[in-house]
Amino acid sequence: MALDPVAYQPYADPDDFIREVTDLIWVDRAIGYIRENYEPDSIVHGVLGTSVGRDEVIQGSLMRIADTPDRIGQAEDVVWEQRGDDAFLSSHLVLSIDPHTGFRSRTIANCLYRRGRMVEEWVTRDGLAIALQTGQDPDEIAAQRKFAGYTGSMTRPPKPDITRDGDSGPRPDDFRPEVEMVLEFLENVWNQRELEKVGRYWIRDLVLNDVADRTVIRPEGYRRSLLTLLRAFPGARFEWRDVQTHHAERYAGLRIAVTWRMLGVYDGMADYGPLTGSPVEVLGISQFLVQDGRLVKETRVYDDLAIRTQIIGARGDTAYEPTNIY
């Protein structure tokens, strides 16, 4: 089933649509164009929870642009996949750089567009990168924010088979062997903690673009990065919410984007100050590059500041006593 051009007109294709519309709003400052680009009741699942309505998007975009007016965001990848005959789901990886200071960070926005208008979005930002590069205290920034929590589709259990149907709806059965391989890797290594299996799925010279603008190489680097994420939440589980694929020479071949959520309890290593034993939700998106049936690169974006916000908000006067005495 061919995608009806009404999904991306007047642009050449969804990739062109995403890149040009984003530039129009964020570089040319056409903030008001969001009224044309988003449905009035559009839904956005961000790092601090779910918001409904495009007015909040307009206001939030204005504040971000005003706060960092010199930063330029450029498309590093657009993984888009059809959703029915008039819609597509895009995973837009944005590399933002301030040419005057050199500060840089990444954002991934997964947007469900129907007939050229955004209806639901999942967006993750690497807030820690900016905090560290500008010399700000991440805890001080986090303490000024509030975790609102998720509503709508994020409150429902993930679909049982996201290779067929995720939060964004039924998907085409494209690149099934590669999609199943990525999801098998995530389940075995991330959830089952079988970290020795990294080399089974990845090439030796792997690259991981991690949060805080860190780049990690080789299987052992990947294992240590995952351990760093999990050690504060040792019992955490990941759920896979959605997946999309796209093959393009422009972006080095087949990319597979996975939207995930980590659900854990802050009862492990005290990386964020005194333990609280409180629940933590982390929305994340990973884009994988697959070549010759092997994983080559991952760009992973979640907001460490949103983790801190939840922990700080749950901290009370009574110290939490961990129960693991192993």
Residue 148 lies in a domain: no
Q: What is the pLDDT along the chain (326 residues), one digit of tens a residue?
A: 799 999 999 999 999 999 999 999 999 999 999 999 999 999 999 999 999 999 999 999 999 999 989 999 999 999 999 999 999 999 999 999 999 888 999 999 999 999 999 999 999 999 999 999 999 999 999 999 999 999 999 999 999 999 999 999 999 999 999 999 999 999 999 999 999 999 999 999 999 999 999 999 999 999 999 999 999 999 999 999 999 999 999 999 999 999 999 999 999 999 999 999 999 999 999 999 999 999 999 999 999 999 999 999 999 878 888 888 78
Which of 143, 174, 204 is a domain's end point? Answer: 143
Cβ-based neighbours of 128, under 8 Å, separated by 6 or more: 138, 211, 212, 303, 304, 305
| CATH number of the structural domain spanning residue 169 | 3.10.450.50
Residue 137's domain comprises 5-143
> 91: closest CA among 104, 105, 108?
108
Q: How far apart are CA 80 and CA 18, in angstroms?
A: 9
Domain co-membership, 186 together with 117: no
Domain co-membership, 180 together with 78: no
8 A C-beta contact, residue 164 and residue 173: yes
Name the token pair of 140. 């001080």
Domain co-membership, 99 together with 233: no
Residue 181 lies in a domain: yes
Which of 112, 143, 174 is a domain's end point? Answer: 143
Q: What are the C-alpha distances in Å from 28 to residues 10, 20, 69, 105?
A: 18, 10, 11, 20
